[in-house]
């Protein structure tokens, strides 16, 4: 059985893995601790489930701990999450005091580990306040923000900022998200894992099953948007773009996303999209369980073009996933989509349903360009947005932060 590193080596090449070994050597003797709030579910846990074993294989002494909390604590951190993404809701003081108490309890439980660690990565707001309870920390503490904080609700950000400013550094996914802080604010975009269920290769049989299961005609083009039913993702704009194309080409549309029943607005948007699609048998609106990764993978693979027509977007990992599958992406000209969709190379950036329709027609007509852009898209992700690049940047950050804060660190 090949080791994880050997499996990645087949995807990214020997020299990329060699470089990880070289960087790991510079961290010899260090103990790194990662803290987040859960081992299951969500993008952070997904990333850590891969990054931690990779670090172990590279011989880096790494520990992953999660914090424990009750329903009130997670209600508070959910509110924090939403407000940092722009919702204007005040969090009651009582909940904030509870948040602090739970952080203190967890810090007390993990005190020895946290005091001795050379590097502590704290992921997202849930464990951010732990730093206050570890005054005699020996190592460097880094706060990793995975959230889109481009327009936070200020009162909540100010509250959290009081904890975050005590860290030695922070890490953000995009420069648009980074807030003013008195320490280095590293920029590390997220990544996808090419070996995960969501991204690994699929057999022809699995793809044939996907056509049959969702009653999609394999002989006609398919355009797809994978996203929550959220107004910022503009699913109604996608339906409109589809209609504009349909007048010329017998295209099929798939709109697929996670369940929205616990989100009143999501349900409302879902119903609007259903109404907008009417009884058109070529529009497939699919509500999928959040962990149905193989289905998402198959839907992306059977598509000719993938859309992400968001009007506001964090990084947009669904874009990365589609590009990795060799699909050009027609995406909204916003946020992290701009980093990934390069006009005429990996897809097109658009601002309106009309713009999206035009580009869909162009690519379906010009199959040669579609194929060429798809190939470029895959190589683009291979070089820039796979987990190995993510890990390289984490390792580089650790080397940088444990040396003097100079522009150039020469370890020769």
Partner 1 sequence: MGEPFAVRDCALIAIATGQYANTLTELRDRLEIIPTSCIYYHFWGGLLRPKFDNPEYQNDFAIWAYQGLRDKSLAERLALIDPSKYHELEDLRGELIDTIEERIDESEILPWMKATQRFYFVRSQTVVFDTKVRLDTPEELGEHIPHMSLGSIFYHFIDARRRPPWGRDDFSHWVSDFGDTYAELAEQISIVDPYFIALGELREELARVFSAHASQGGE
Contact predicate 216/302, CB 8 Å: yes
State how far the alpha carbon of 181 is from the alpha carbons of 119, 132, 187, in Å.
19, 17, 14
Cα–Cα dist 80/130, whole Å: 16
Q: Is 70 in the site for partner 1 (CB under 8 A)?
A: no
Torsion of CA 311, 317, 322, 325, to 10 degrees: 170
- Tell me how many residues contact partner 1 (CB under 8 A): 44
The distance of closest approach from Cβ of residue 15 to partner 1 in the complex, given in angstroms and rounded to an integer, is 5
Residue of 30, 52, 185, 244 that binds partner 1 (CB under 8 A): 185
Q: Is 380 in the site for partner 1 (CB under 8 A)?
A: yes
Stretch that binds partner 1, among 50-58, 195-203, 278-286, 379-387 (CB under 8 A): 379-387
CA 238 to chain centre: 22
Q: Which is nearer to partner 1, 309 or 390 (CB)?
A: 390
Q: Is 261 in the site for partner 1 (CB under 8 A)?
A: no
Q: Where are the alpha helices (DSSP H) in 250-331?
A: 264-277, 293-301, 317-324
DSSP 232: G
Residues 187-216 as x/- pattern, contact with partner 1 by CB under 8 A:
xx----------------------------
Q: Classify burial at 301, counting beta carbons within 10 Å of its beta carbon; exposed 0-12, middle 13-18, buried 19 or more.
A: middle
Q: Which is nearer to partner 1, 170 or 224 (CB)?
A: 170
Q: How many CB atoms lie within 10 A of CB 28?
A: 9
Q: Which is nearer to partner 1, 309 or 376 (CB)?
A: 376
State how far the alpha carbon of 6 is from the alpha carbons of 9, 35, 61, 239, 337, in Å.
5, 27, 20, 43, 31
Residue of 6, 18, 39, 87 that binds partner 1 (CB under 8 A): 18
Q: Which is nearer to partner 1, 270 or 348 (CB)?
A: 348
Residue of 184, 258, 274, 293 that binds partner 1 (CB under 8 A): 184
Cα–Cα dist 187/177, whole Å: 9
Task: Write the DSSP string, 280-313.
Answer: -TTEEEEEE-TT-HHHHHHHHHT-SEEEE--SS-
The interface with partner 1 within residues 302-361 (CB under 8 A) comprises: 338-339, 342, 345
Q: Is 243 in the site for partner 1 (CB under 8 A)?
A: no
Q: Is 246 in the site for partner 1 (CB under 8 A)?
A: no
Q: What is the CA radius of gyration of the chain?
A: 22
The distance of closest approach from Cβ of residue 180 to partner 1 in the complex, given in angstroms and rounded to an integer, is 5
- Tell which residue, 326, 329, 377, has the closest CA to residue 356: 329
State how far the alpha carbon of 377 is from the alpha carbons of 47, 196, 387, 402, in Å.
22, 19, 16, 35
Q: Where are the alpha helices (DSSP H) in 1-68?
A: 4-12, 14-25, 43-57
Q: Which is nearer to partner 1, 245 or 341 (CB)?
A: 341
Contact predicate 409/403, CB 8 Å: yes
- Tell which residue, 47, 182, 195, has the closest CA to residue 121: 47
Q: Which is nearer to partner 1, 64 or 177 (CB)?
A: 177
The distance of closest approach from Cβ of residue 141 to partner 1 in the complex, given in angstroms and rounded to an integer, is 17
Which residues is 149 bridged to in the sheet? none
The distance of closest approach from Cβ of residue 60 to partner 1 in the complex, given in angstroms and rounded to an integer, is 15
Residue of 186, 232, 315, 348 that binds partner 1 (CB under 8 A): 186
Residues 389-408 as x/- pattern, contact with partner 1 by CB under 8 A:
---xx-xxx-xx--x-xxxx
Residues 137-176 as x/- pattern, contact with partner 1 by CB under 8 A:
-----------------------------------x--xx
The interface with partner 1 within residues 20-39 (CB under 8 A) comprises: 22-23, 26
Residues found near partner 1 in the complex (CB under 8 A): 14-16, 18-19, 22-23, 26, 172, 175-176, 178-181, 184-188, 338-339, 342, 345, 376, 380, 383-384, 392-393, 395-397, 399-400, 403, 405-412
């Amino acid at each position: 059985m090949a080791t994880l590193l050997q499996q990645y080596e087949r995807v990214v090449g020997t020299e990329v893995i060699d470089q990880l070994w070289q960087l790991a050597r510079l961290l010899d003797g260090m103990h790194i601790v990662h803290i987040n709030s859960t081992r299951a579910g969500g993008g952070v846990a997904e990333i850590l489930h891969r990054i931690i074993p990779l670090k172990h294989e590279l011989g880096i002494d790494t520990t992953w701990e999660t914090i424990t909390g009750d329903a009130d604590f997670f209600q508070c951190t959910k509110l924090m999450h939403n407000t940092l993404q722009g919702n204007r809701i005040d969090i009651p003081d009582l909940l904030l005091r509870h948040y602090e108490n739970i952080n203190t309890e967890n810090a007390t439980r993990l005190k020895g580990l946290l005091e001795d660690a050379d590097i502590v990565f704290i992921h997202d707001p849930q464990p951010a306040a732990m730093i206050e309870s570890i005054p005699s920390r020996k190592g460097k503490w880094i706060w990793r923000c995975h959230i889109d904080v481009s327009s936070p609700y200020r009162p909540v950000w100010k509250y959290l900022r009081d904890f975050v400013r005590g860290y030695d550094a922070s890490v953000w996914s995009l420069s648009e998200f980074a807030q003013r802080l008195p320490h280095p604010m590293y920029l590390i975009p997220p990544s996808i894992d090419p070996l995960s269920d969501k991204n690994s290769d699929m057999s022809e049989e699995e793809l044939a099953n996907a056509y049959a299961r969702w009653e999609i005609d394999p002989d006609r083009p398919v355009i797809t948007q994978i996203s929550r039913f959220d107004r910022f993702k503009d699913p109604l704009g996608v339906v409109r773009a589809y209609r504009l194309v349909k007048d010329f080409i017998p295209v099929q549309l798939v709109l697929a996303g996670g369940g929205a029943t616990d989100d009143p607005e999501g349900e409302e948007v879902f119903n609007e999209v259903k109404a907008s699609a009417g009884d058109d048998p070529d529009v497939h609106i699919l509500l999928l369980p959040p962990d149905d990764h193989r289905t998402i993978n198959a839907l992306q693979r059977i598509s000719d073009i993938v859309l992400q027509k968001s009007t506001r977007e964090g990084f947009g990992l669904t874009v990365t996933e589609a590009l990795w599958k060799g699909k050009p992406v027609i995406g909204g000209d916003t946020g992290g989509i701009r980093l990934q969709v390069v006009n005429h190379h990996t897809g097109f950036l658009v601002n309106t349903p009309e713009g999206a329709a035009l580009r869909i027609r162009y690519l379906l007509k010009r199959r040669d360009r579609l194929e060429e852009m798809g190939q470029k898209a895959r190589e683009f992700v291979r070089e820039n947005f796979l987990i190995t690049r993510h890990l390289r940047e984490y390792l580089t950050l650790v080397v940088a932060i444990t040396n003097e804060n100079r522009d150039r660190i020469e370890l020769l």
